[in-house]
């Protein structure tokens, strides 16, 4: 056993000012249609409408590229951690022992077949010059150029395998693979003697996988949430508080 394993979600980064992009804040208009994040953040959208896909992600990145880690990130910096967040704040807080299971928006990969494993590298969002206040159409052209997306044989803009770039983010129609270190994450879960869920609504698959692993192995579970979901499991303990309150409790205890 390897001790405590933390699995964190959006609630950990909320006090840093990271928007959730849920509800009305998450909608994106293309033409006359509004899209939800679950519709925008898909491989199909990237393949069929790369300009709007990249503009959406660019505006997500631009909205929090200067955001700083908060006290929870710093408290977690020496903990074993799997985060659902793509903001990169755990790494910026100094955590050398974490897995960003949904990727990181400050990284990119080559556009490859979904099961291919490769090493992410730094994204080039910051190379987009905003000093001239470009409009959305100008931004789209710049993004298509930076991500190496050109017209295909049918005169349609489309990413090309092995050439174009893709944000290092697990999309809603993609599955967990070793590109996102899934095998390593499963090993961490199986070897933990306690799994602590912090700031997550249990609405994504990784939390379901972790819970199934805990139940199958009889691993203790803690849930840190002001309004936690109640589980039918006799080895779970609830901390009805924020992530920051939990960290303060642990510091003083």
Spatial CB neighbours of 212, under 8 Å, sequence gap ≥ 6:
none
Mapped onto helix, strand or coil, the DSSP state of residue 194 is strand
pLDDT of residue 224: 96
Residue 21: pLDDT over 60:
no
How far is the C-alpha of 44 from the C-alpha of 56, rounded, in Å?
14
Q: Return left, alpha or beta for 126; rule: phi > 0 is left, psi -120 to 50 is alpha, else beta.
A: alpha
Q: Can you tell me which residue has the tokens 């990969």?
A: 109
For the question of residue 102 being annotated catalytic, the response is yes
- For 10, 36, 44, 152, the CA distances from 48, given in Å and listed in that order, are 29, 16, 6, 12
pLDDT of residue 33: 76
Please say whether the structural domain 4-252 has been given the CATH code 3.40.50.1220: yes
Question: Domains of the chain: which residue ranges?
Answer: 4-252
Mapped onto helix, strand or coil, the DSSP state of residue 186 is helix
Q: Give the single-character DSSP code of 127.
A: G
**Could you tell me the end-to-end alpha-carbon distance of the chain, in angstroms, rounded to an integer?**
23
pLDDT, one tens digit per residue, over 130-174 is 776 789 999 999 999 999 999 877 788 999 999 999 999 999 999
pLDDT of residue 134: 82
How many residues are present in the chain? 253
Q: Is the pTM of this model over 0.75?
A: yes
> What share of the chain has pLDDT > 70, as a percent?
93
DSSP for 18-87, written as a single string:
-----GGGG-EEETTEEE-HHHHSSHHHHHH-HHHHHHHHHHHHHHHTT----HHHHHGGGS-EEE---S
**1 or 218, which is more confident?**
218
pLDDT of residue 23: 47
pLDDT confidence bin for 28, thresholds 50/70/90: low
pLDDT of residue 207: 96
**238 or 232, which is more confident?**
238
Residue 248: pLDDT over 60:
yes
C-beta separation of 12 from 244 below 8 A: no
* List 102, 104, 166, 181, catalytic entry: 102
C-beta separation of 104 from 163 below 8 A: no
How far is the C-alpha of 139 from the C-alpha of 26, rounded, in Å?
20
Residue 27: pLDDT over 80:
no
């Amino acid at each position: 056993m390897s001790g405590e394993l933390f699995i964190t979600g959006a609630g950990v980064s909320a006090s840093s000012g990271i928007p959730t992009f849920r509800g009305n804040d998450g909608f994106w208009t293309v033409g006359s249609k509004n899209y939800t994040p679950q519709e925008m953040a898909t491989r199909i959208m990237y393949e069929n409408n790369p300009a709007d896909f990249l503009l959406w992600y660019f505006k997500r990145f631009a909205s929090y590229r200067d955001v700083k880690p908060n006290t929870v990130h710093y408290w977690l910096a020496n903990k074993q951690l799997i985060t659902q967040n793509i903001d990169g704040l755990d790494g910026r807080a100094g955590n050398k022992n974490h897995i960003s299971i949904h990727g990181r928006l400050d990284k990119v990969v080559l556009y490859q077949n979904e099961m291919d494993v490769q090493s992410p590298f730094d994204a080039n969002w910051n190379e987009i010059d905003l000093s001239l206040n470009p409009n959305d159409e100008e931004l789209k052209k710049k993004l298509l150029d930076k991500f190496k997306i050109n017209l295909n044989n049918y005169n349609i803009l489309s990413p090309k395998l092995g050439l174009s770039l893709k944000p290092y983010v697990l999309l809603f129609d993609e599955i967990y693979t070793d590109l996102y270190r899934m095998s390593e994450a499963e090993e961490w879960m199986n070897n933990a003697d306690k799994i602590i869920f912090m700031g997550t609504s249990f609405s994504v698959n990784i939390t379901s996988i972790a819970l199934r692993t805990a139940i199958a192995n009889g691993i203790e579970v803690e849930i840190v949430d002001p309004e936690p979901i109640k589980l039918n499991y006799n080895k779970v303990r609830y901390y009805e508080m924020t992530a920051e309150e939990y960290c303060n409790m642990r510091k003083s205890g």
